[in-house]
Amino acid sequence: MRTFVLLPFAGVFAFFVPLVSQAQSASFQIAQHGHAVGTASFQFTPGPQGVSSTSIVHVAMQGLDYSLSKTERLSSAHQLRHVQLSATVNGSAVTVAGAPNSGQIVLKISANGRITTTPLAAHDGAVFLPDFDPGALETLLTLAAAQNNRGLWVIVPKNAGSIAPVQLATYADQQGTFNGKPIAVHHLVATISGASTDLFSGPDNQLLQAELPQQGFALVRKGFVLKPPAKPIAPAE
Report the range of poorest mean pLDDT among 8-17, 77-86, 128-137.
8-17
Q: Is residue 169 predicted with pLDDT exceeding 60?
A: yes
Q: What is the pLDDT of residue 4?
A: 39
DSSP state of 229: P
Cα 150 from chain centre: 18
CA–CA distance, 20 with 228 (Å, rounded to integer): 30
Banded model confidence at residue 18, pLDDT cuts 50, 70, 90: very low
Query: Looking at the predicted structure, is the pLDDT value of residue 3 above 90?
Result: no
- At residue 147 the predicted structure's pLDDT band, cuts being 50, 70 and 90, is confident
Name the strand (E) or helix (H) holding 87. Answer: strand 80-89
Give bridge partners of residue 56 from the DSSP assignment. 41, 69
Task: Dump pLDDT digits (tens) for 20-46.
Answer: 567 899 999 999 999 999 999 999 999
pLDDT bin (cut points 50, 70, 90) of residue 8 is very low
Percent of the chain surpassing pLDDT 70:
88
Cβ-contact 139, 74 below 8 angstroms: yes
| The pLDDT of residue 223 is above 70 | yes
216 and 31 Cβ atoms separated by less than 8 Å: no
**What does the pLDDT average to over 187-203?**
88
Q: Give pLDDT, residue 31.
A: 97
CA distance linking residue 171 with residue 200, whole number of Å:
10
Mind listing the domains of the chain with CATH numbers? 24-227 (2.50.20)
Q: CA-to-CA distance for 20 and 52, rounded, in angstroms?
A: 10
Model confidence band, residue 178 (pLDDT cutoffs 50, 70, 90): very high
Identity of the highest mean pLDDT range in 90-104, 141-155, 187-201: 90-104
State mean pLDDT over 167-181.
92
**What is the average pLDDT across 156-175?**
92
Q: For the chain, what is the mean pLDDT?
A: 87
Report the pLDDT averaged over residues 187-205.
Answer: 88
Q: What is the pTM of this model?
A: 0.85
